[in-house]
């Protein structure tokens, strides 16, 4: 049985890039670059990379990025986009709750709710945060976004999912 988040993203690859929240890639990558002092030698993991918009933009800027996601559909779209741009990016399927990377990356990014906080329990979300942190080298940075807790007070969850 598929979980709701697996079903949600199953056929979402093409539509995802046109969503309003997916339009800030350039500014988000500008912010990331400033946070890491434009150091092109850093190894980056993009957790919940989706269609690869941050992985692709950062690679275009000269960074070495690995993108991971749970969705085959989104990863397929990411690979198509990277290939069309002639970019070599390592996109891999992983469950962020079960990552085995240890001290491998200088920066972990997890933007636009790519993994955290989509899980059903705090424990599952904690595993994602713990694994992201474990993937980092000493003095590594972790940049992530999360949903605004007030959103549900002002919007219907059913309406949002539809």
Token digits of residue 70: 């749970």
What are the pLDDT digits (tens) for 58-110?
A: 999 999 999 999 888 889 999 999 999 999 999 999 988 888 999 999 999 98
This prediction's pTM: 0.73
How does DSSP classify residue 147?
Answer: -
Task: Identify the CA nearest to 30 among candidates 57, 2, 1, 67.
Answer: 57
Domains of the chain, residue spans: 40-161
Q: What is the DSSP string of 27-40?
A: HHHHHHHHHTTT-T
What are the pLDDT digits (tens) for 105-156?
A: 999 998 875 555 555 666 777 788 898 999 999 999 888 766 555 555 666 6
* Superfamily of domain 40-161 in the CATH hierarchy: Vaccinia Virus protein VP39 (3.40.50.150)
Strands (E), the chain: 43-47, 64-69, 90-93, 105-110, 136-144
pLDDT band at 46 (very low <50, low <70, confident <90, very high): very high
């Amino acid at each position: 049985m598929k979980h709701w988040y697996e079903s949600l993203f199953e056929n979402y690859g093409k539509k995802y890039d046109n969503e309003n929240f997916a339009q800030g890639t350039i500014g988000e990558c500008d912010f990331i670059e400033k946070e890491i002092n434009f150091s092109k030698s850093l190894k980056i993991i993009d957790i919940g990379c989706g269609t690869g918009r941050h992985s692709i933009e950062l690679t275009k800027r000269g960074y070495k990025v690995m993108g991971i996601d749970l969705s085959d559909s989104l990863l397929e779209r990411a690979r198509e986009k990277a290939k069309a741009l002639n970019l070599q990016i390592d996109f891999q399927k992983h469950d962020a709750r079960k990552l085995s990377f240890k001290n491998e990356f200088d920066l972990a990014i997890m933007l636009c709710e790519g993994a955290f906080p989509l899980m059903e329990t705090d424990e599952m979300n904690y595993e994602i945060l713990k694994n992201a942190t474990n993937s980092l080298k000493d003095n590594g940075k972790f940049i992530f976004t999360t949903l605004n807790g007030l959103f549900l007070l002002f919007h219907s969850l059913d309406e949002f999912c539809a």
